[in-house]
Structure 1
Amino acid sequence: MQRYLNILGQYLSPLKGKVAVLLLAMLAGIGLQLWIPQITRNFIDAATQKGPEGTLIQLAVMFLVFALLNQGFSTLSTYLSADIGWTTTNALRVDLFRRVMRLDMRFHKDRTPGELIERIDGDVTSISNFFSQFVVRVTSSALLAVGILALLWREDWRVGLIITAYVVVIFFVLQKRAEVAVPATRLEREASASMFGFIEERLAGLDDIRANGAGRYTMNRMHHVAKDWLNKNLKSWYMRSTIWTSMMVLFSLGYCLTLGVGVYFFQQGLITLGTVYLFFNYMRMLEAPLDEITRQMQEFQKASAGILRVEELQNEKIDIEDNGTQHLPQGALSVNFDNLTFAYGDHLVLKGLNFDLKPGEVLGLLGRTGSGKSTLVRLLFRLYDPTSGTLKLGGLDSREVPLKELRQKVGMVTQDVQLFHASIRENLTFFDPSIPDSRIHAVLKELAMDSWVDALPEGLDTKLQANGAGLSAGESQLLAFARVFLQDPGLVILDEPSSRLDPATERHLNQAIGRLLKGRTGIIIAHRLDTVERADKIMVLSQGEILEFGEREALKQDRSSRYSQMLRVSRADNLEEELEKLGV
């Protein structure tokens, strides 16, 4: 229970004023609910005893006023509950999303985006009631039930004793069933996350699924995933419904018991007809708080599973610690790998790398798929930390630099550009409104993109389709270059951005590459040898080791070097094949 109180206090404490008003509104409503049956009892007794008409009118007016006030407090409580629930759960969503964004690649490699969406949204939705209603409603319902029992004891101790015993039985049943559905509900949430992940993966690969005729297989898998989710959902619902079923039976017995006792006492002349109604009405009123407690317990069971999964995400270990206090120098950055080793678990990926790049130098990085090129780049961004050894940028250990600053000083252009369903301005600035349009236009002009943007219907405000649909590959790449220009990094990494372009667009892009690398350190991951002709140094990686590293011109002239051999036998479109021939 302590973990639930901790998370409740964390997100409700900023809203303590609203929570206090909500509690007061509910307490006022409880008082009115307890008093209204007394008015009704007095009205019935006055009417059966032919009391004064003025008394009846006065009681009727009091009943209406109290009923209206009760409705007003109920409306206020409903509004505040919804407001508190949405505010707290949105804050929790933001915190979870921030947590997911900070978690390293080890975490993300094991989970699909669809699964994380279900964690951030689905699990949080399941506990929204816990934030907005659980404590307040359970407390107010318990107070209402205690108030009803106290009034029953005041009216007749025998009736009070019988109904109190009945309530004790109900709470005993509640206590026994309290945790029955938590494991099943947790499995239901996990199955839901798996289904979201499955759908997300298949939609992302829709073109390949259609092109390879895998539609029937995909639908068959969807059937199994959905069946698993349905079965776990039904089991979870059944386990939770056992509480409701038990309460329905107990309430039916309670009504029979109350009516039977009331009629007996009335026939014995011990109570009035109005008091019989009072007993029955209080018994009926007991159903509401007990039913509310029952329902809240069911919601709590669902929330418990969500809270456990949220806690798992909040407690997920962050391997990349952001404790840096040193600041990178302005301008081009030097790069130094000192006996750097990196492993994924037990799999050694990079093995004792040693090399240096001076500020402003450009490195051409060659190697077959799986040689370690992508891992080397991820280390530069601190998506991972070295297993051993050091990586220095601008003379500083990368771990000594704040993550935000490091990733601003290292820019990258990939073959697959991620564009958002937003305006061109927002795509270029990554939604940073502080970057002025004058600077954006200057960058576009430098890349010779100004005429293209000016010709668009709304210029920088033109909305792009999701994933850049409707743009050519060259236009997408140039937008990515403009992003990096605006970032103004000291180190630029290019993952062969021109490999899939037509010759005319490639020439345009090569001009942009030249402008981007001017005054900056660069690393070009090459899939074609002609791409590294602008490089100062060449590195050849194979199975995580440096086979060759040196000045490009010197390696080119050295006929025994691997780079020289590649140049003699290479064709522009088969670098992987030539690397394999040379044993790289």
Structure 2
Amino acid sequence: MPAFKIPLRQYVGLLRGYLSAQRSSIVWLSVLLAAGLVMQLVNPQLIRYFIDSAQGAASDRALWIAAALFIGVSLVQQGVAIAAAYISENVGWIATNKLRGDVAEHCLRLDMTFHKSHTTGAIIERVDGDINALANFFSNFIITLVSNLLLVVGIVILLFREGWLIGAGMSVFVVLAIWAIQYIRKFAIPHWGKLRQMSADFYGFLGEHLEGTEDTRANGASDFVMHKFHTLLRQWLPIRVRAFLGWAAMWITTLVVFTLGNAIAFALSAYLFKQGAISIGTVYMIFYYTELMAKPIEKIRTQMEDLQKADASIVRIRQLLDTKPAIRDGAGAPIPEGPLSVTFDGVSFSYESGDRPTLDRIDFRLEPGQSLGLLGRTGSGKTTLARLLLRFYDPQYGDISLGGVPIRNDKLTHLRKRVGLVTQNIEIFQGTVRDNLTFYDSAVTDERIGLVLAELGLEDWLRSLPHGLDTRLDSGGGGLSAGEAQLLAFARVFLTDPGLVILDEASSRLDPATEQRLEAAITKLLSDRTCIIIAHRLATVQRADRILILDNGQVAEYGNRQALADDPESRFSRILATGMEEVLA
């Protein structure tokens, strides 16, 4: 089986990118680890001096000096180890948190095509699970690995000073240990990659069905979901067992190698002592060094374990960061201020290549300040048209312009400030009322928020809140009625002062009293703005200047609302005459 090799360029790139800002901490960590290395090498020499002095010294002075030095060096060594551990953990958490933030921000920039093909749970596993696996990789992987290798080299050099035979024997032991660990490691690494992927699949499934728990229970699909849940667990277990066995194989290999090392040290020490070549203190020192050598080799083994976990995570994270959004910022002129004209010029779009177009050769123009009533059956392309205006997707053919500027020319952040969207499903986030309205934009003043809420008839509701705009809301809008959530969504949009407002059946969740109260506010707020009203009910398009009816992704009818209503041959007129609103459902 070929050994899994970490991509060196990705490895170095991650370290350079996320540790370069912590150079001073890394220098201090290197100094502390080097100091600890020296003290570990010195202590066995002190023990040998103590034992040999105890056998031949006429007074206890030498023993007291050796004991004091040993205790002092040991205490300092522990202090250095604590300081090094603190710095390394701090370095690791700073680096991983920065990487976690970059990955999360990158995911937010990716377009809807990516998010439709990846479940929420799978993305969370990438952002959190994979990055957690890199904590040790960032904190001290390189420094610890190098320092432990240097400790092994230092021990071998000191043993060669005592005699070429003991030095050569321990060198064989070291080579055997490192070769055995590397040989076993290559069998374990692929299973860790599969384990990380299985974990992402499981949490993706879990997140998807936790989000849709109401639909699952309402349609009696709980048994199916639990069957799939247990199926994934049964698939996960053997992968986890194989990954654990790979770890166990490395651990057992290390124990066997350490036992061989002790046997070599015992045999060589006994032979040299009988020859009179070494003292009893030197015998003990050799055993101490042999035991001490087990520690860095064990550390190297655990670093290899962390590396085999990090290998898969690094590749998966780099693959995610290398994923480029299909929707890119434009470099041309920005969309102008004020009410916007809307132009669709031969626009065709399909979600999947080769599928029948969801929108097929759409042509129309809406003048600035006008309102458009957009009608059509479910699946006719109404919501898709709105998504194209916000550049959640780009059409395969044709151009869309706002205010005479192609929307591909503007930056996405500016475009989405100029186009406001209110949908049926309102997202309320955990945070204050102010946070939910402004999305943490400190430039929006409380006075402006108050004016918009007053326009929407929410001033009494705001006064009833215990902490006003600082009142915290639960995720999902717990504690809010459907009407209050919908009104907050209107306020959220109008605080950005868009030039085009899209209402996607935005009042469908409101009770009649709240909807009536909203009508006057909408009329005032939509003045001097262009508006597209996506509707399933004819009553919601009575304010529209123009009517556009889609049928199977094509323009079935477009024109002035009143003119179409007065034309008995028009589709809109026939719908009004017969009251057959169900044809639009």
With normalisation by structure 2, the TM-score equals 0.96
Task: Give the letter aligned to residue 150 of structure 2.
Answer: L
Post-superposition Cα deviations, 1:357-411, rounded to whole Å, max 9, x if no partner, equal 1110101101111111111111111111121211111111111111110011110
| Distance across 2 between alignment mates of 1:282 and 1:103 | 55
Give the one of 62, 66, 76 matched to 1:55.
62
Partner of 1:212: 219
Give the one of 323, 347, 354 matched to 1:340.
347
Partner of 1:511: 520
Task: Give the letter aligned to residue 552 of structure 1.
Answer: R
Does the alignment pair 1:483 with 2:492?
yes
Between 315-324 and 361-370, report the one with greater CA deviation: 315-324
Partner of 1:554: 563
Task: Give the letter aligned to residue 529 of structure 1.
Answer: L
Give the one of 83, 86, 96 matched to 2:103.
96
| Distance across 1 between alignment mates of 2:301 and 2:367 | 69
Partner of 1:470: 479
Secondary structure of the 2:428 match is: coil
Written as runs of structure 1 = structure 2, the 5 A alignment for 1:260-299 is: 260-299=267-306
Written as runs of structure 1 = structure 2, the 5 A alignment for 1:178-577 is: 178-344=185-351, 345-347=353-355, 348-570=357-579, 575=581, 577=582
Task: Give the letter aligned to residue 549 of structure 1.
Answer: Y
Residue 515 of structure 1: CA displacement? 2.4
Question: Contact (CA 8 Å) 1:570, 1:578: kept in 2 or not?
Answer: no
Residue 517 of structure 1: CA displacement? 1.3
Does the alignment pair 1:139 with 2:146?
yes
> Structure 1 578/212 Cα, relative in aligned 2: closer, same or farther at 3 Å?
closer
Give the one of 575, 578, 581 matched to 2:583.
578
Question: Contact (CA 8 Å) 1:418, 1:467: kept in 2 or not?
Answer: yes
Between 299-308 and 497-506, report the one with greater CA deviation: 497-506
Task: Give the letter aligned to residue 435 of structure 1.
Answer: V
Partner of 1:155: 162
Residue 176 of structure 1: CA displacement? 2.2
Residue 451 of structure 1: CA displacement? 1.2
Task: Give the letter aligned to residue 246 of structure 1.
Answer: T
| Distance across 2 between alignment mates of 1:270 and 1:50 | 20
Secondary structure of the 1:180 match is: helix
Secondary structure of the 1:323 match is: coil
Task: Give the letter aligned to residue 365 of structure 1.
Answer: L
| Distance across 2 between alignment mates of 1:438 and 1:245 | 69
Residue 324 of structure 1: CA displacement? 2.6
Residue 242 of structure 1: CA displacement? 1.6
Residue 40 of structure 1: CA displacement? 0.8
| Distance across 2 between alignment mates of 1:327 and 1:217 | 50
Task: Give the letter aligned to residue 419 of structure 1.
Answer: I
Secondary structure of the 2:140 match is: helix
Secondary structure of the 2:473 match is: coil
Unmatched tracts of structure 1, length 5 or more = none
Partner of 1:71: 78
Partner of 2:15: 8
- Give RMSD over aligned pairs: 1.3
| Distance across 1 between alignment mates of 2:71 and 2:513 | 83
Question: Contact (CA 8 Å) 1:555, 1:561: kept in 2 or not?
Answer: yes
Question: Contact (CA 8 Å) 2:346, 2:399: kept in 1 or not?
Answer: yes
Aligned-pair identity (%): 44
Secondary structure of the 1:468 match is: coil
Q: How many residues align?
A: 576
Question: Contact (CA 8 Å) 1:180, 1:240: kept in 2 or not?
Answer: no
| Distance across 1 between alignment mates of 2:516 and 2:233 | 50
Between 298-307 and 454-463, report the one with greater CA deviation: 454-463
Question: Contact (CA 8 Å) 2:503, 2:532: kept in 1 or not?
Answer: yes
Residue 342 of structure 1: CA displacement? 1.4
Residue 579 of structure 1: CA displacement? 4.1
| Distance across 2 between alignment mates of 1:325 and 1:147 | 63
Task: Give the letter aligned to residue 268 of structure 1.
Answer: Q
| Distance across 2 between alignment mates of 1:362 and 1:236 | 61
Residue 211 of structure 1: CA displacement? 3.0
Task: Give the letter aligned to residue 319 of structure 1.
Answer: A
Question: Contact (CA 8 Å) 1:362, 1:535: kept in 2 or not?
Answer: yes
Post-superposition Cα deviations, 1:164-213, rounded to whole Å, max 9, x if no partner, equal 01111112223323432232111111111111112112211222333333
Task: Give the letter aligned to residue 515 of structure 1.
Answer: K
| Distance across 2 between alignment mates of 1:56 and 1:110 | 72
Post-superposition Cα deviations, 1:563-583, rounded to whole Å, max 9, x if no partner, equal 111111125xxx3x3248xxx
| Distance across 2 between alignment mates of 1:115 and 1:515 | 44
Secondary structure of the 2:118 match is: coil
Residue 425 of structure 1: CA displacement? 0.8
Secondary structure of the 1:467 match is: coil
Secondary structure of the 1:540 match is: strand
Unmatched tracts of structure 2, length 5 or more = 1-7
Task: Give the letter aligned to residue 160 of structure 1.
Answer: G
Give the one of 159, 166, 174 matched to 1:167.
174
| Distance across 2 between alignment mates of 1:486 and 1:541 | 31
Residue 218 of structure 1: CA displacement? 2.3
Secondary structure of the 2:336 match is: coil
Between 240-249 and 113-122, report the one with greater CA deviation: 240-249
| Distance across 2 between alignment mates of 1:211 and 1:327 | 47
| Distance across 2 between alignment mates of 1:446 and 1:252 | 81
| Distance across 2 between alignment mates of 1:192 and 1:401 | 39
| Distance across 2 between alignment mates of 1:51 and 1:379 | 94
Task: Give the letter aligned to residue 583 of structure 2.
Answer: E
Question: Contact (CA 8 Å) 1:429, 1:486: kept in 2 or not?
Answer: yes
> Structure 1 200/559 Cα, relative in aligned 2: closer, same or farther at 3 Å?
same
Residue 51 of structure 1: CA displacement? 4.3
Residue 289 of structure 1: CA displacement? 0.7
Task: Give the letter aligned to residue 354 of structure 2.
Answer: D
| Distance across 1 between alignment mates of 2:187 and 2:94 | 30
Question: Contact (CA 8 Å) 1:481, 1:512: kept in 2 or not?
Answer: no
Residue 511 of structure 1: CA displacement? 2.2
